[in-house]
Amino acid sequence: MAQKSFCLQFFCLVLFLALFASRFPGCGQTTNSITPQTVLDAEKLIGLDFSAAKIDMMLKDLQEQRGRFDSLHKLPLSNSIVPAILFNPIPVGMKLDCAPHKSSFRLTPAGRVKLPANLDDLAFYSIGELATLIKSRQITSEKLTRFYLERLKRYDPKLECVVTLTEELALQQARRADAELAAGKYRGPLHGIPYGAKDLLATKGIRTTWGTAPYTNQVFDFDATVIKRLEEAGAVLVAKTTLGELAMDDTWFGGKTHNPWNLKDGSSGSSAGSCAATSAGLLPFAIGSETYGSIVSPCDRCGVTGLRPSYGRVSRTGAMALSWTMDKIGPICHTVEDCAIVFHAIYGPDGIDQTLYDLPFSYDSRIKLKKLRIGYLKKDFDGEKGERKDNDAASLQKMRELGADLIPIELPKYPLGNISFVLSTEAATAFDDLTRSGREDWMKQQGAEAWPNAFRQRRFVPAVEYLQAQRLRYLLIQDTAKVFEKVDLFLAPSLAGRSSLLSNLTGHPCVVVPNGFSKAGTPTSICFIGKLFGEGELLAAAKQYQDATDFHWKHPRLD
């Protein structure tokens, strides 16, 4: 038993041994045999040095284990099959308020909203404003839907932000919304509001491409939970938006999604199309996802507002899996309050995704910043240079003017870069069949930093090292919880420092908000990072800042 247990350390290593043996067969050995030299060479990959006697003792079982792996590979596992091990982001001692009845949702009144004389002005109305127009019947959902469909058709050739227009479905949903309203049924602020969904969310009968050639003809016979919940809220799906291939960057099988503020630049990724389309006024809002930076980075580049919820808040049922312990789904909008509206519609358990927590969400836009303990990453802000440093300094000053007493804090010091390989290791597992089939060669991105190469590299991560990284991640969660004993939320640079990777590893929520422009006229942003499951306070605080600025009401010109 000791020998067999020991050999589990070579879970991925054995694959390398077989490959080595097949390419450099020894004299008198079959191409599939594992020799002492095979083990000696493989040891170099993982920093081990066993004696000849210990290697000899392993050989028979390593060969048998290779056969067991071969048998397992014959069992098909789709991307939708989750591991039996679940990630727990909750630190020791954290008490959860599991009383959904304590949820409350108080929006800022939209006030009097009139249909503009020039309908093009509708492109940048908030969800709250559009909802007022629909509820007061100044415009129908069908007319509003046709308006956005026309804009998508007009500007998508410049932005390359749409994979599939869902026009037929959209018009059906819009007509139903109008009929329900005429019958006295109003579902809430998303009733009749068009939106786009990142093309990693399953949509029944409509292709879901995951942004890459191997899956361009993929069609599911069900809707993702997020799609279902938005339909239940009355929203109208008008487009499946682009994502970088398998949720990396902004290059997809059809091209490169562009930044509306500078068409020579990409929109960043991976929620590329959702951010570009919202920024350009082609959608009132869109759904994106983040594993590490995929909401924050394109929101920063495109000048829109996004919410990356806590891990365990929004169902991933029907969403492409990249990293089971890091994937999160959230809204991309014009305003913080729009993010609150969408989040309110999509959060909570669905009875399928076992990573979800049944916790209340309370939002009140009237929150007083003076009552919150707000921190900021002083060293990260001090280390910035140029225009971002200036814009962030102005944001900190604005927060102080609004009554916040900013507390300088530091994040726990862990080798985050050395832990982060858990993401790509899980991704290699999620796309095991793609690598084995050779279809990764069909992907557009084939460089050293692209997924095909990363998937191959991560085949050689031993199970022991993956689990060791997760043990360090456990300690990171505990020490990060100590930071939130001092503050309720903190401010961080969007693209500098360690907060992005750390908070994605720990599962904390983030709101990214535009906070200025560069000299070249492109947007910048700042991040608000909150307590686990603390989206209510986090959104309310970010809204206070956004309401005191006007960056979110400045828009790119495409004509």
Q: Which residues are catalytic?
A: 198, 270, 294
3-state secondary structure of 237: strand
Place of tokens 């006229």: 521
**Whether 195 contacts 141, CB under 8 Å:** no
The burial class, CB within 10 Å (0-12 / 13-18 / 19+), for 71 is: exposed
Residue type at position 366:
R
Of the candidates 336, 288, 260, 333, the one whose C-alpha atom is nearest the C-alpha of residue 522 is 260
Q: What is the DSSP string of 30-67?
A: -TT---HHHHHHHHHHHT----HHHHHHHHHHHHHHHH
Residue type at position 198:
K
At 530, which helix (H) or strand (E)?
A: strand 523-530
3-state secondary structure of 318: coil
Distances (CA, A) of 462 to 7, 227, 266, 322: 11, 37, 36, 19
CA distance 257 to 250: 6
Beta strands in 101-254 (DSSP E): 104-106, 162-165, 194-198, 236-241, 251-252
- Burial code (b: 16+ CB inside 10 Å, e: under 16) for 371-389 equals ebbbbbbeebbeebeeebe
Tokens of 533: 């499951």
CA distance 538 to 546: 12
